[in-house]
Amino acid sequence: MFTLENKTAIITGAAGGIGAACALMFARHGIKTLIMTDVRKENLDKTAGEIEKETGIKGACIACDIRREAEDEALVAEALQKAGRIDIVVNCAGVSRMGGLYEISEDQWDFTFDINVKGLFFLCRAAYRVMEKQGGGCIINLSSQAARSGGLVVSPDYPSSKAAVLTLTKSLAKSGAARNIRVNTVSPGLIATEMTTTFGYDPKTVPLGRLGSGADVAGAVLFLASDYASYITGACIDVNGGIAMI
Ligand SMILES: NC(=O)c1ccc[n+]([C@@H]2O[C@H](COP(=O)([O-])OP(=O)(O)OC[C@H]3O[C@@H](n4cnc5c(N)ncnc54)[C@H](O)[C@@H]3O)[C@@H](O)[C@H]2O)c1
């Protein structure tokens, strides 16, 4: 039985989709302190309320735009003040859009990379400092199957940013290893969330015959966050219903 008792976690992008599913999964597995963060505070509060109703675990909701290093540092400081330590960080905040080669502007390119790569890095670094001092921790970053396939309908900034997440994770895992900080990636395929509502995928094209759910991804995140994964770092778990085989 997986347990996260005595552990403290920060989950970004927790207002909905995969982030909310991870928060619920952690609450169901007895997380001691759950810090939920997102740029959409109203949705975050609503999600936290639903999780509390189901599990009795009350997540602390902190608004944060992860693009800003100062906000990342403030988030980690507030989490530390509330919980005394930070064992787990799950980076689910992310953006994507549909579009072709000639449709993306310079500002849109920067927006995607600011959130998916830069913000993720600065939040990892802020948490890493705390983890280093306390003797360890673990970070799980959300990449995407698109990082390896180049994406199906998303514009080119998205798969490129998610490929950067794969490499950044390995870089952080290398420096974290001697400090007992594990850093891994979960790479989803087609997951039914707000992000993919307009994608129009036919579930029949997925070998397992359906789109994934947030809970499917959260299961892999839970494993990596647990002590059962204590010898795993710099790795990537694919959660894609077999879509990488086609
Ligand atoms: N849904 C999929 O099929 C799929 C596939 C592969 C990878 N992913 C990745 O998984 C992660 C979660 O995706 P999802 O499907 O749950 O998407 P989602 O759109 O449902 O959730 C993403 C969350 O990130 C938040 N966010 C956006 N910008 C932010 C910012 N600047 N600061 C803080 N929060 C911000 C949003 O408010 C939202 O709640 C993303 O990184 C996404 O790229 C999703």
pLDDT digits (tens, 9 = 90+) for 96-146: 999 889 999 999 999 999 999 999 999 999 999 999 999 999 999 999 999
pTM flag (> 0.85): yes
The residue whose CB lies within 8 Å of the most ligand 1 atoms, and thus the one to mutate among 195, 217, 221, is 195
pLDDT of 195 strictly over 90: no
- DSSP letter, residue 137: E
The verdict on residue 1 lying in a domain is no
Residue 142 tokens read as: 């959300």
- Name the more confident of 76 and 154: 76
Q: Could you tell me if residue 108 is inside a domain?
A: yes
Please answer whether residues 163 and 141 qualify as being in contact, where contact means their C-beta atoms are separated by less than 8 angstroms. Answer: no
Q: How confident is the model at residue 196 (pLDDT cuts 50, 70, 90)?
A: confident
Residue 48: the pLDDT is 98
The rounded Å distance from CA 16 to ligand 1 centre is 8
Would 14 be classed as within a structural domain? Answer: yes
Task: Assign 197 a pLDDT band (cuts: 50, 70, 90).
Answer: confident
Print the domain residue range for 108. Answer: 8-245
The count of structural domains within the chain is 1
> Which residue's alpha carbon is at the smallest distance from atom 11 of ligand 1?
92
Q: Is residue 137 part of a domain?
A: yes
Asked whether residue 33 is assigned to any structural domain, the reply reads: yes
CATH code of the domain in which 189 resides: 3.40.50.720
- Ligand 1 pocket, 66 CB below 6 A? yes
Non-local (6+) Cβ contacts of 109 within 8 A are 157
**Residue 2 counted as domain residue:** no
Residue 113 CA, ligand 1 centroid: distance in Å: 13
Using H for helix, E for strand and C for coil, what is the string for 141-180? EECCCHHHHCCCCECCHHHHHHHHHHHHHHHHHHHHHCCC
How much is the pLDDT for 152?
81
Spatial separation of the C-alpha atoms in residues 134 and 212, rounded to whole Å: 36
Q: Is residue 183 part of a domain?
A: yes
Distance 181 CA to ligand 1 centre (A): 24
- Residue 219 within any structural domain of the chain: yes
Q: How confident is the model at residue 2 (pLDDT cuts 50, 70, 90)?
A: confident
Mean of pLDDT over the chain = 96
Task: Give the rounded distance of the alpha carbon of 236 from its chain centre.
Answer: 13
